[in-house]
A and B are shown apart, each in its own frame.
Chain A
Amino acid sequence: MSSPPGGELSIDTEGDIVATRRTVRGLAVDLGFGLTDVTRIVTAASELARNVYKYGGGGVMRWRHLQDGSRPGIELQFIDHGPGIADIDLALQEGYSTGRGLGLGLPAAKRLMDEMDIQSAAGAGTQITLKKWRSN
Chain B
Amino acid sequence: METNNISVIKVRDILMVTMPPDPDDTAMSALQERVLAAMERYEAKGVVLDISAVETLDSFFARTVSESAQMVAIMGGRTVIVGMRPAVAVTATQIGLTLGNIETALTVERALDLVATRTAARKSR
Contacts and interface: CB of A to CB of B under 8 A. Distances in A.
Contacts of B42: none
Interface residues of B, number: 22
Contacts of B58: 43, 46-47, 50, 108
A35 B87 contact: yes
A112 B60 CA distance: 16
A36 B87 contact: yes
Contact of B88 (A14, A39, A112): A39
A128 interface: no
Contacts of B88: 39
A25 B24 CA distance: 15
Contacts of B25: 14, 17, 50
Interface string A24-47: 010000000001101110110011
Interface in A76-101: 94, 101
Contacts, number: 65
Given A46-B56, A107-B95, A36 B90 contact: yes
Contacts of A50: 25, 58, 60
Interface of B: 22, 24-26, 55-60, 62-63, 85-88, 90-91, 94-97
Given A14-B25, A21-B22, A104-B96, A43 B56 contact: yes
Contacts of B94: 40, 111-112
Contacts of B90: 36, 39-40
B120 to A, nearest CB: 35
A47 B96 CA distance: 14
A68 to B, nearest CB: 23
